[in-house]
Amino acid sequence: MTSLNLLIRLPLKCSTIYLLTIYCLFTLFFISPLYCANITLNSSMGYNSNPASEPESKGALFADTGICLEESFPFYDTVKLNLASSFNYQVLEALPDNHQIVADLSISPLKQGNRYTPYIFSTIGFYRDSLVTSDRRNSFSFGAGVETILSSRYTFIFESSWKHIKYLEDSPPTFLPPEQKNKYQNGQKSESDPFSQPVQIDDEVTSTNTMSNQFQQIYDARNDNAFTVNMMLNLFISPSVTLSTGLAFEHLASSLDMESYTQITPALQCYWTINDKWQINLGGWFEMRRFYNINEMPPENEYQMIQGGANFQDFTIREDNNTFSVNMRLYYFPDAPFHIITDYSLLNGQYPVDEESYRERIIQCGISWSF
């Protein structure tokens, strides 16, 4: 598919969703007669070297389009309500599409006369992916934070939140190769699929359906609950340069035990306003994740037979996963109500389980129009 076809396909597929979403969002944001929403339209095109984040990458061109609405207004003359909602649709070349809807609410004091600004927030999200169907999910979160002005050059933000994630699709077994994951995920079977073959256990033949049901019960669609603590220190080096350092701690408890983990993520970001027309952001983060219950696999004898007598311990080293990311974003502000964004990011996931390791590069350029 050419880039021209990609541009034509985008509005045709999501025009109906857009009309419905814009109608609902405008109804919400114009309830208050005192303020009107700030609207931002985003559109971009680019290339993703690995949209599915798999070891065997298959790159694709993509087109993104989205809308974001924001509004703030006082409530009972004591607090300020901040509402935001966004809708994003992505079309991939010769691959299934994905879209996401997010709504945010935050509450903070209307009068800010001291160094401390507390706030509470809540977020609802809906994500649908036709390429990696196991990532389809709904989420809800709420939390609280406080922003502290330490001095004229330093601010510190502390934030804590809880998030519930409901996945909508059954998860394919982690230890399967990508091609067998896809067959399992899409409900396809073949003669080479281990789940489609009878298995000999204690001189008795176990039926295909029995084995499939056992694995299906282990990998049902899961519910995750995540507790997160974020700390960020902002340093205003000069009027044009800001440096942000952050540290996040997350503990996720999943209904599928082998997906539970604790994670620590340090991050660094630099914002440089070159002049009134150019701005550049440079940053990166390093995610260190440790899983719990790493031996939560099918019974050893059944697992070994499926793998043809392979060593069971070779497939339970899913303890430490590390992901590294760097990104660069360049902004250009012409004498117009829009600005141009060019973005490059690199993600590198190195995991003990080879079927989970991946490398992904994303390059894109787009326009953001606010009014």
Residue 159 sits in a domain whose CATH number is: 2.40.160.40
Residue 204 lies in a domain: no
Please give the Cα distance from 40 to 368 (Å, whole number).
7
Give the tokens for residue 219: 């990998």
Is the pLDDT assigned to residue 248 strictly greater than 50?
Answer: yes
Residue 124 lies in a domain: yes
Q: What pTM was estimated for this model as a whole?
A: 0.76
Label the pairing between strands 137-149 and 154-167: antiparallel
Range of the domain at 327: 3-171+220-370
User: Residue 265 pairs with which residues in a beta bridge?
Assistant: 248
Render pLDDT for 299-341 as a digit per residue (tens, 0 to 9).
444 444 344 444 444 444 456 888 999 999 999 999 888 999 9
Distance from the first to the final alpha carbon of the chain = 33
pLDDT band at 111 (very low <50, low <70, confident <90, very high): confident
Q: Nearest 5 degrees, angle CA 230-CA 232-CA 238? A: 165
Residue 215 lies in a domain: no
Q: What is each CA distance from 23 to 30, 69, 198, in whole angstroms?
A: 11, 12, 54
Phi, psi angle pair for 110, to nearest 5°: -70, -40
Mean pLDDT of the chain: 77
Identify the pLDDT of residue 31: 47
Average pLDDT of the segment spanning 60-80: 88
Render pLDDT for 140-149 as a digit per residue (tens, 0 to 9).
999 999 999 9
Label the pairing between strands 38-48 and 60-75: antiparallel
Render pLDDT for 177-201 as a digit per residue (tens, 0 to 9).
444 455 444 444 433 343 333 333 3
Residue 229 lies in a domain: yes
Count of domains in the chain?
Answer: 1
Residue 178 lies in a domain: no
Q: What is the DSSP letter of 341?
A: E
Phi, psi angle pair for 181, to nearest 5°: -60, -45
Residue 197 lies in a domain: no
Give the tokens for residue 221: 């669609």
Residue 155 near residue 134 (C-beta atoms within 8 A)? no
Residue 249 lies in a domain: yes
Residue 359 lies in a domain: yes
Q: What is the DSSP letter of 21?
A: H
Render pLDDT for 131-180 as a digit per residue (tens, 0 to 9).
888 889 999 999 999 999 999 899 999 999 999 999 998 765 554 444 44
Give the tokens for residue 19: 């009309």
Render pLDDT for 15-54 as a digit per residue (tens, 0 to 9).
445 555 554 555 555 544 445 568 899 999 999 999 988 8
